[in-house]
Amino acid sequence: MLVLAVSNDEFVIKRVGVVRFINEIRRDAMFEVKGYQVYQMDAANRPVIRVPDNTAVVFHTLDCYGGQITENSAMLDTLDWKRINPAAGPVYVEGAMPGDVLKIYVENIVVGKQGVMAAIPGNGVLGNLIQIPKVRIMPVEHGRIRFNDNISIPCDPMIGVIGVAPKEGAIPCGIPGSHGGNMDNAKIKKGSILYLPVFHKGALLSIGDVHASMGDGEIMVTGVEIPARVAVYVEILKDCCVETPMLEDASHLYTIASHEDLEQAVILATRAMNQVIQRQLGLSLEDAGMLMSAAGDLQFCQVVDPKQTVRFAMSKTILPSLF
């Protein structure tokens, strides 16, 4: 089923040299996508742009509420919940085939001027204690988020929703899985590299749900939800495969897994890292497990979505590479 909605912004696709707002990018070719959103990841979604392998792409994303909340007095019960968790895209990457891996470099994330958080009865770890919904608008100024008049926190943008078309059917952008989706992994930020399995021709990459800041677990269901411009560089890997998302940053490697049962997500992420260590370091299952128990870290991404997401982290000083 095709689910494609157009915002009021004009749809823009253009090839440019260096985008002004992202000084870090020094690529010869870049594509920019603005104005098209999907609400579920699906091989039936019509791609809004086709890009070659080894290309930079800028995604203009809305916040998870689709821009519907602009002031503290906003009433959550008046929202159009069909517009929740939009993702910009999808982008068709030419040459990507089932069985490949899509390597996604997060080049930069530039956030808007204000974000929003909400406390919603029945939602999140504390949801059963909340009686009345509350919304808080948070300005972002000079690299900090103004939580209230007395508290500010660093602006540390990350991507909540990033994924490809799943192997079968359509999956709402608010649900994570082996295709990526709403992993709410705070490590998916500028400088990181995400690896996603490709299930369909072109991969069909979509990105959304950026947070100006989000703690591990995302216990209140929201981070600081904010519109953004996300620059990524995509590359197709033909000589390796992954069954679940994997990630790396400057210091660590991560395996990521999502499941309705948190314990099962833990098992999946742990087994995936164990297999990586066996392959890359030549250790037995038992020795790889002992190494993980001595020097690895099992971490929460989010524990509030229909499927919960965890990651297993290993330092690059011990495990230099995933492949």
On whether both 139 and 217 belong to a single domain, the answer is yes
Q: Spell out the alpha helix ranges (H) of the chain.
A: 262-281, 285-295
| Rounded Cα gap, residues 271 and 129, in angstroms | 35
Backbone angles phi and psi of 179, in degrees to 5: -85, -5
In a domain, 322, yes or no: no
- Convert the pLDDT of each residue in 145-184 to its tens digit: 999 999 999 999 999 999 999 999 999 999 999 999 999 9
Q: What is the CATH number of the domain that holds 35?
A: 2.60.120.580
Range of the domain at 261: 246-315
For residue 95, the model assigns a pLDDT of 97
Under the banding of pLDDT at 50, 70 and 90, the label for residue 71 is confident
Of 122, 123, 85, nearest to 219 (Cα)? 123
Nearest one of 173, 153, 168 to 85, comparing CA atoms: 173
Domain count, the chain: 2
Rounded to 10°, the helix 262-281/285-295 angle is 110
In the predicted model, what is the mean pLDDT of residues 118-124?
Answer: 93
Same-domain check for residues 63 and 183: yes
Domain boundary among 184, 213, 237: 237
**Residue 293 zone, left/alpha/beta (φ > 0; ψ -120 to 50; rest):** alpha
Clarify whether residues 76 and 22 are in a common domain.
yes
Whole-angstrom distance, CA of residue 99 vs CA of residue 233: 20
pTM comes to 0.91
For residue 257, the cross-strand partners are 310
pLDDT at position 147: 97
> pLDDT category, 7, cuts 50, 70, 90?
very low
Tell me the mean pLDDT in the region 67-77: 85
321 within some domain: no
Residue 210 and residue 272 in one domain: no
Q: What separation, in Å, do the N-terminal and C-terminal C-alpha atoms of the chain show?
A: 35
Q: Is residue 166 part of a domain?
A: yes
Please report the pLDDT score of residue 2 as a whole number. Answer: 29
Which of the four pLDDT bands, split at 50, 70 and 90, describes residue 105? very high
Instruction: Flag the least confident range among 39-53, 77-91, 154-168, 221-235.
Output: 77-91
Give a yes or no: residue 323 inside a domain.
no
Which token pair is 83? 């517009």
Span 100-104, average pLDDT: 98
Residue 156 inside a domain? The answer is: yes
3-state SS assignment for residue 150: coil
Residues 134 and 58 in one domain: yes
On whether both 259 and 210 belong to a single domain, the answer is no
Q: Rounded CA gap, 166 and 247, in Å?
A: 18
Tell me, yes or no, whether 153 and 299 share the same domain: no
In a domain, 83, yes or no: yes
| CATH for 261 | 3.10.28.20
- Of all residues in the chain, the percent with pLDDT exceeding 70 is 91
Maximal C-alpha separation, the chain: 58
Q: At which residue do the structure tokens 């020795």 appear?
A: 287
Confidence of residue 5 (pLDDT cuts 50, 70, 90): very low
pLDDT digits (tens, 9 = 90+) for 185-241: 999 999 999 999 999 999 999 999 999 999 999 999 999 999 999 999 999 999 898
- Residue 280 has what pLDDT? 98
Whether 32 and 132 share a structural domain: yes
Q: How far apart are CA 90 and CA 170, in angstroms?
A: 13
Q: What is the mean pLDDT of residues 258-270?
A: 98
pLDDT the model gives residue 202: 98
pLDDT, residue 82, reads 85
118 is a domain residue:
yes
Residue 73 has a pLDDT of 82
Residue 202 lies in a domain: yes
pLDDT of residue 98: 97
- DSSP 3-state of 270: helix
pLDDT tops 50 at residue 23: no
For residue 75, the model assigns a pLDDT of 79
| Whether the predicted pLDDT of 58 surpasses 60 | yes
Give the tens place of pLDDT for each residue, 272-285.
999 999 999 999 99
Split at pLDDT 50, 70, 90, the class of 78 is: confident
